[in-house]
Structure 1
């Protein structure tokens, strides 16, 4: 059917035409100019957004290059060293916008502590953390038995000018740089599978494991024990099979390595702490841009503080876990501790005789400890 040409429809059409014209006039011109204006506005907004994005996303380290830092250590997952090293890797990556990648291999994956330090010296890996002093024997001065009694004293020693001076000797002697010195695990305790140790004479005849550290050997020998060297990663089996009767380690290490499964008698003697040097290959370190060295050093300082905090937080819990496993823990009286201290005084003289420290350095350490708050 043919549509009628109705007058009302003409009026509606006229009204729509006038409305569209008014709209275009209000936009300042024709439909094409309005579209052009809209496109121009969109382009301007996009350009502005892109400019802001570039400014916000500017990478100050992009021109410095990318570096990978392979680091090894011997501790298992959950140990303060393991946890703090994982945090260190994250901190370095974030602080360098991902341009420095730290690959951490814990739990002895790269070998024994001595083997890892040899790899650092050779440049096969870039760094390692651990109480390995074969190439820096002067660090042993901080491991003298019963040198300290509190966390404040340990921290004062490790942050002292004397400690910094001893660490600085490492580069010339070993080709490594020590970028941090923290606590390796807390105060160290005695354990064995034969009988409780309540006095020095109880160690006579026991075969005690050491890691080859002179001050541990000297201490046990002064107390009447014999010593045998077993790598940390092999210690559990060495104790289980009777290669050694006993050992010495902090609570967190005993728990982490489950030595409580193969040792029955523990003595909370707190006889020694070990520095935990973070060795880095000097050639690799000196090849880094200064900005990266500063960042890594700052992150290493934070790592050391976090490590010591974790040790303090975890030690009592680790000790309780050992008790819960059915082990006996003997806590000597002050008088009994004094007997152990007296028995090992000769170790101080030996360290001076062997050049580990001088008499003046020993006096300086004792003064640092006495002044620690």
Structure 2
């Protein structure tokens, strides 16, 4: 009896020592695959890398984001499809791409020409309860969710060869090269211009030979493609704007804890701000260069909007919810 009493505390001590010797099983690390279609040095991919760093820091290493640039996970539609079935976790790309997914068509309004007065105007609209409800509805219908829309994308501008364009009347008869876009065609026709679809690879020669006398691309494209050599006037219209969006498969999002979701949201906001800062610096430097090569003409954007925006009123209730166009237009 005496010996058995001595044995009990001995066994307790042994059990305690064994429990201390066995390492506690750590929770498995969450690994997310995030894709971009951009090159490694593009601001979009650099922002995605910053996002990965922020997530690692905020989660104490429990969440790892692996970034795949250069369309390694496929094009935009491939990644949208992948997010629906769990083959791809996340993507960072323009919000204007969201309507490519069935169920997110309400966001066609993002690409309406001359609608957005500034990037801040767009951000303010997206933060309203009206748009937040659209985001939630699109996530439920499409299977792809936007965590955060943040990160200024390059806006599209106008250049011409012989004609300074300031007012709606100056567009009349203007032969302008456009990409294949029903919205852009509609906007240019509303202004009285003559839009011509020309492949991007043929753009420089088309402008040089007079097949088209004007074109619409961003500052970076104008510089990188040397379009300033065959165009005289630079008209900063900022007529199509976009914001980068952090996309995630909705099923993946719902599988995360509230704390994990909070970490991703915070990191997305901060990385988006980083993207905006990089983009603005790059565009400011590019515009300064173009000013040494071209004549800058400041357009009357308010007058142009008064002509263009009504042309899209017949799409209200078809391409986006009825009343949304007026809501955006009236937002200060």
| TM-score, structure 2 normalization | 0.74
Residue equivalent to 1:317? 285
* Pairs within 5 Å for 1:180-195: 180-191=148-159, 195=162
Deviation at 1:129, TM superposition (A): 1.9
Q: CA deviation at 1:189?
A: 1.0
CA distance in 2, matches of 1:110, 1:227: 33
Whether 1:345 and 2:309 are equivalent positions in the alignment is yes
Between the two proteins, the alignment pairs up a number of residues equal to 296
CA–CA distance in 1 between the matches of 2:202 and 2:140? 36
Distance 1:291 1:318, change over 3 A: same
Question: Would the aligned equivalents of 1:84 and 1:307 in 2 still touch at CA under 8 Å?
Answer: yes
Q: Distance in 1 between matches of 2:30 and 2:275?
A: 25
CA RMSD of aligned residues (A): 3.4
Unmatched runs of 5 consecutive residues or more in structure 2 = 1-19
TM-fit CA distance, 1:281 = 0.9
Deviates more, 1:92-101 or 1:194-203: 194-203
Alpha-carbon distance in 2 for matches of 1:263, 1:68: 47
- How much does 1:329 deviate? 4.9
Residue aligning to 1:307? 275
Residue 284 to residue 267, structure 1, CA distance change in 2 (3 Å):
same
SS in structure 2 of the partner of residue 312 of structure 1? helix
Give the Å deviation of 1:120: 2.5
- Higher alpha-carbon Rg: 1
SS of 2:31's equivalent in the other structure is: strand
What residue in structure 2 maps to residue 281 of structure 1? 249
Using the alignment, how far apart are the partners of 2:242 and 2:311 within structure 1? 16
Per-residue Cα deviation, 1:227-281 (whole angstroms, up to 9, x for no partner):
6497xxxx5x3535759966544435655xx234587434211223113222111
The offset of 1:98, in angstroms, is: 2.5
| Equivalent residues of 1:140, 1:215 under 8 A apart | no
Name the counterpart of 1:32: none
Partner of 2:58: 95
Selected match of 1:269 from 204, 214, 237: 237
Q: Is the 1:196–1:330 contact (alpha carbons within 8 Å) kept by the matching residues of 2?
A: no
Cα displacement string for residues 169-201 of structure 1 (whole angstroms, at most 9, x for unaligned residues): 222221011101124414321246x55561553
Long gaps (5+) in structure 1: 1-50, 52-57
Aligned to 1:147: 115
Partner SS for 2:276: helix
4+ residue runs over 4 A deviation: 194-197, 227-230, 240-247, 252-255
Deviation at residue 313 of structure 1 after TM alignment: 3.2
Describe the superposition over 1:6-38 as per-residue Cα deviations: whole angstroms up to 9, x where unpaired: xxxxxxxxxxxxxxxxxxxxxxxxxxxxxxxxx
What residue number does 1:251 align with? 219
Matched, 1:226 2:195: yes
Q: How does 1:105-116 map to 2 (within 5 A)?
A: 105-116=68-79
